[in-house]
Chains A and B, each alone.
Chain A
Amino acid sequence: MATETARSDATGHLTRDDRVGLLRYMLLMRGIEERAMTLYRQGKVPGSFYDGFGQEAVSAGAAFAMGPKDRLCVLHRDLAAHLVRGVTPTRILGQYMGRAGGVTGGRDGNVHFGDWQLGCVGMVSMLPDMMLVATGMAMAFKLRHEQRCALTWFGDGSTSRGDFHEAMNWAGVQKLPVIFVLENNQFAYSTPLEAQFAVDPVHRAESYGFPGWSVDGNDVEAVFEATREARERALAGEGPTLIACETMRMHGHAAHDDMKYVDKERLEEWRRKDPIERQERVLEGLGVDVAAVRAEVAAAIEAGVEEALAMPMPDGATATAGVFCEGEANVLGDGQAPWSGVS
């Protein structure tokens, strides 16, 4: 029950291909976001632009441990989770640009999306709201006696809102198969941790009746391993787990934010802990041709950009359609689950 630091040795559960896959999803996330930032500066991405630069390991590692029938509520610095589930770079780039072929067809912007056909629910801007939605999905799994689990991400700022408490408490009381991944990136917009909470939220898990684990959020295999263990707990009926991933938001809250409130030395320190370079070093040690992986990813992104730019914008005449579901209610479908260990 006590708060502990999760072990990082995932060697027994990851094949060489799995480990390359983890790098590939992180590279895709970074590459897509960097390319989208360029498109934003060129005026092709309306609104603002948000990214998860430096945090790629948290969404890639956690999503990679999930099964196809598991369900995810994905937040705005978790692009790799969408990629793991099977959303293509083209549709993501179309989404950023508000195109008809983007995941929401222009109904919502940037990373506000989830492909329901791939088992994902898109976030709303009131971030910890999704903790309750994930809790409700887990509640349904338990009611139906299904061996499945739900997972959601949220940030350090989210831990101050009531929905964080309501979800943690509810999940603890009903002992639900849900995984809460706290993405502690040190800042909620400009607000530092010391202005956000008096006690590290990882310790709160114990008071809700389930374990909280601290994990190096820049070690993709450690995040994977902690999530894998949490999922095993969930499927065994042992209830929820809070995984607190320590990481750093390396860019501003959004494109307009110059981050003048962050000390440059601190950024440099975190830059040396970059999750992608770290995984590349691991793979180079195994003899993997990392340059070839990078080249393949870059080509996939460029193809995606071209296809997304060719997508038409949505027709203004459709703006009022679809507020209500008119036919049968659909339900979330199964997602891609590339980890070799998913049964």
Chain B
Amino acid sequence: MPTMTYLQAISDGLREEMRDDERVFCMGEDIGVFGGAFKVTDGFIDEFGPDRVMDTPLAESGIVGTAVGAAVVGLRPVCEMQFSDFISCGFDQLVNVAGKMHYRQGLAVPITVRLPTGGGFSGGPFHSQNPEAWFMHSPGIKIVAPATPEDAKGLLISAIRDPNPVLFCEHKHLYRRIKGDVEAGAYATPMRARVARDGDDLVVITYGAMVHTALEATEELEGVRVLDLRSLVPLDEEAILDSVRACAKVVVVDEANELCAAGAQVAALIAERGFEDLDGPVVRVATPNVPIPFSPPLEQAVLPSVDRVKEACVELLAY
């Protein structure tokens, strides 16, 4: 089984689907000749040509809006936002056009939008955000956020094959830092949670880059489970409640801003349906509600660190 970085796995999944299905094409800013800001589509233009690896005008609303048009006449666009932050400029097309189309008119919108998310390397307020919760609140949009190379490939393939708009949150800080075994050929990973490490004294529920933070933070602690959500919409409620039943203590970690984050929904779900299984308060660790600052000491002060997650777990274990 080949070993790949998280970034190589994304490229591999995209390449498999483009080889397998001529309806699949990618579009975005600087993805063709340049191969993308992060090089996910490096070399694609040589294999697939400029029509299927389309350099677009610098227009995020245009990218999402034209992708919707292409999808409803039978293509399978995979859009790249150069940074997930820029999806704010395509918000209306996603939320109002793509997300509501099937409910209103019965017309499917099979588009995938790749969102390079997250901070940790001085990207500043406009290159570090985790915008997934903006879209969790908006009906009709699926959201996945892989943590490993294996899942990055399989979830991208699932997203492309899904008949709905899917946001694929790929964490920039994992691109070249995380390596792992990745199955050759095409495979689709289900949009459900997975247990990243088992345990039955406490569960850390998280997704994306924070899965690695949680694994590192709890490495030396006994009996801590790490639940990797992998998908935020749909949210694997049964997997969350199973873990609450098994562990009775819960820490929810978001790299995103704390207010109304994905983890807030997880905490609300546990309060409603897992209350009787709890043996302590649900504890949240997240980025406070500030823009992500540029300078390293400022950024490190707000993003959830290994130490903060570990401290939260130690305190809750002692509760």
Interface residues of A (CB under 8 A from B): 71, 103-104, 107-108, 112-114, 116, 121-122, 124-126, 129-141, 143-144, 150, 162-163, 166-167, 169-170, 173, 322-332
Contact A129 B92 (CB under 8 A): yes
A121-B101, A132-B64, A150-B69 given; 18 more Cβ-contact pairs under 8 Å: A125-B96, A133-B66, A133-B72, A134-B69, A135-B69, A136-B69, A136-B71, A138-B69, A140-B70, A141-B73, A143-B75, A163-B62, A166-B65, A169-B57, A325-B110, A328-B108, A329-B109, A331-B73
Contact A135 B93 (CB under 8 A): no
Contact B65 A132 (CB under 8 A): yes
B214 at the binding interface (Cβ < 8 Å): no
* Residues of chain B with a CB closer than 8 A to A71's CB: 73
Q: A129-B97, A136-B67 are in contact. Are A143 and B51 (CB under 8 A)?
A: yes
Of the A-B pairs whose beta carbons lie under 8 Å apart in the complex, a sample of 6, sorted by A's number, is: A113-B105, A131-B65, A132-B61, A133-B72, A325-B110, A332-B73
Question: Which 8 A-B residue pairs are closest in the complex by CB-CB distance?
Answer: A136-B69, A132-B65, A136-B66, A329-B163, A329-B108, A325-B108, A166-B62, A137-B69
Q: Which residue of B lies closest to A138 (CB)?
A: B69
Q: CA of A332 to CA of B70 in the docked complex: distance in angstroms?
A: 11
Interface code B95-118, partner A: CB below 8 Å = 1, 0 otherwise?
A: 011001111111111100000000
Contact B61 A139 (CB under 8 A): no
Contact B92 A133 (CB under 8 A): no
* Residues of chain A with a CB closer than 8 A to B296's CB: none
Q: How far is the CB of B82 from chain A (nearest CB, A)?
A: 16
Contact A170 B59 (CB under 8 A): yes
B142 at the binding interface (Cβ < 8 Å): yes
Contact B102 A323 (CB under 8 A): yes
B7 at the binding interface (Cβ < 8 Å): no
Contact B66 A126 (CB under 8 A): no
* Residues of chain A with a CB closer than 8 A to B73's CB: 71, 137, 140-141, 331-332
Contact A135 B104 (CB under 8 A): no
Contact B69 A330 (CB under 8 A): no
Candidate in B66, B101, B103, B140 with the most chain A CB atoms within 10 angstroms: B66
Partner of B62, one of A126, A132, A144: A132
Contact B62 A327 (CB under 8 A): no
Q: A134-B69, A136-B65 are in contact. Are A324 and B104 (CB under 8 A)?
A: no
Contact B62 A133 (CB under 8 A): no
Q: How far is the CB of B210 from chain A (nearest CB, A)?
A: 26
Contact A163 B65 (CB under 8 A): yes
Contact B74 A107 (CB under 8 A): no
Contact A132 B69 (CB under 8 A): yes
B224 at the binding interface (Cβ < 8 Å): no
Q: How far is the CB of A205 from chain B (nearest CB, A)?
A: 17
Contact B70 A121 (CB under 8 A): no
Residues of chain B in range 240-279 having any CB-CB distance to chain A below 8 Å = none
* Residues of chain A with a CB closer than 8 A to B62's CB: 132, 135, 163, 166-167, 169-170
B291 at the binding interface (Cβ < 8 Å): no
Contact B105 A121 (CB under 8 A): yes
Q: A137-B72, A166-B62, A325-B164 are in contact. Are A107 and B103 (CB under 8 A)?
A: yes
* Residues of chain A with a CB closer than 8 A to B180's CB: none
* Residues of chain A with a CB closer than 8 A to B101's CB: 121
* Residues of chain B with a CB closer than 8 A to A137's CB: 69-70, 72-73
Q: Which residue of B lies closest to A328 (CB)?
A: B163
Contact A124 B97 (CB under 8 A): yes
* Residues of chain B with a CB closer than 8 A to A129's CB: 65, 92-93, 96-97
Q: Which residue of B lies closest to A113 (CB)?
A: B105
Q: How far is the CB of A103 from chain B (nearest CB, A)?
A: 8
Contact B163 A132 (CB under 8 A): no
Contact B106 A124 (CB under 8 A): no
Interface code B129-161, partner A: CB below 8 Å = 1, 0 otherwise?
A: 000000000011010000000000000000000
Partner of B59, one of A113, A169, A322: A169
* Residues of chain B with a CB closer than 8 A to A122's CB: 104-105
Contact A133 B104 (CB under 8 A): no
Contact A330 B25 (CB under 8 A): no
Q: How far is the CB of A114 from chain B (nearest CB, A)?
A: 6
Q: How far is the CB of B65 from chain A (nearest CB, A)?
A: 3
Contact A108 B107 (CB under 8 A): no
Contact B72 A126 (CB under 8 A): no
* Residues of chain A with a CB closer than 8 A to B74's CB: 140, 331
* Residues of chain A with a CB closer than 8 A to B295's CB: none
Q: How far is the CB of A30 from chain B (nearest CB, A)?
A: 25
* Residues of chain A with a CB closer than 8 A to B97's CB: 124, 129-130, 133
B68 at the binding interface (Cβ < 8 Å): yes
Candidate in A71, A113, A331 with the most chain B CB atoms within 10 angstroms: A331
Q: A126-B92, A163-B61 are in contact. Are A323 and B139 (CB under 8 A)?
A: yes
